[in-house]
Structure 1
């Protein structure tokens, strides 16, 4: 094996983005891969597991000291808390502990990529400037993305390593234990509509139904992670990343209904959190009858997240011009991407 082969450490490897990154780098010929998490995936032919507690500085140093070969780090970890303010401290601490350990114990460390998102622009707070651009003004904090970014910029000054960050919108991938995932919200909702013989009514607001929206194919996202982490012109820069197109739910909805084998229905605004609160036993019956993977419904989906997604009655649009100018030109058709992601859930026996 060539000494020039790159070694990727994927941190948060069991999460939504981490899982996509892991699959990408494991399939690449010129990468070795370490998968780090508190509960890392099992070793495979191309991936070595690394148990890592990011909130324990000493554990980080001890574990990383065993892997001085690491060259590139892909930081996708996120610790959810009860409020945005409470998220700041632990998410900043995880990054600080990791960088401390990398600088102290990993002499070949070259680059760290931070995974942020469109919440950078305040899309979780309401209407925001669109298309969002990387140099737009920040919204009123708290937002742990800002704290991580400020830390990494200050820490990198004068160092012999570089950083990059990506801001995707809605990566479509299955990840158990990550219920804030709109793909699973839609997949479980549509499967329950099919089971009950109901049309696939749009459960959110008409404004959301008609607004512009964007998503990110996980494979495309993983390719962009490799790109910004290895191209010199991308060093110390932040980039938006999406499929590169836009869609409206009202146009996609009939195709989604066809996938589930039900009528499209109408806009029927309701609270998924309330309406789905009693659907656990129904989901168990669906799982047993169709021989699906036995995951409790509350481990798959957070209906409150669905209520947020489907009631965002404003455009979600970000510019990807900066990334394209760097030389990355991959794109996807988002409607096709959505249908392919649902089909993958079907193949994996997550939905019938």
Structure 2
């Protein structure tokens, strides 16, 4: 492939709520290298549909949680998440993970509220779609299966630097960009410090001397004996459900807080007792570690408006949609006494 020389653009100092316009295909192509990337971040096929559209910044993506190697929070430069923009999986085999998309500010133009749209439209660049489609794939697996590349699988390259919890400048940026309030940030830092203490105590103290058994914030404890249960309740998209209490959920989890390989953590426990509708069922997603499409033997559910808010994870703005086992939910009949107070969408709780 002929080497593509990318055009460098000055970074934008964007805040949550800013109005931006996604650049044209031609302008975006000019920023990409031969790998279809800018600063090691792919421009994915799913992003193409937004060229020329105006959207608001959801949050600054100056940091992100590492779901690959579990190193904690990692630093990312010159990137944001846009409101309502999640990957639809169209360029990645129909992956249903619906991850928030990362946008380099080099692909955006800041516009003022009320500013009229430009009447001039740049021609579509016929080279962009083939480039980004090619680079959404890696070498096939030995069995011939597709190997996918996306923002999630390539996270360690686009965010190579680990952010220590005690680098407090990250939290200043959270507040300055409008990602989080001061109170929210203080709580996130406190939870992080507590978890670090618990981790250290588990290494140096006998079990009887550890605070709450050395468990992290949320104090969840898996209580399942032997194989974790496979519970099917016939729940469907559109059903109104209540998240069970932590006490009811713990017997479905093993000591690693897993139910047949799927985790339940303190971020999810924050939603215990709340109600929401089932948005969709998940049965196939791209494995972030390998790039292989995996088909779940036991499909899981996603709830409307329920996201990971980063409350106990250094205010991570990634807004991952948790996956729920049916064992953790109970259906509420419409008009019943349990459906009087459907919960506020989770993403608004951090505002």
Instruction: Calculate the TM-score normalised by the size of structure 1.
Output: 0.21
* Greater strand share, structure number: 2
* Greater helix share, structure number: 1
Instruction: Calculate the TM-score normalised by the size of structure 2.
Output: 0.21
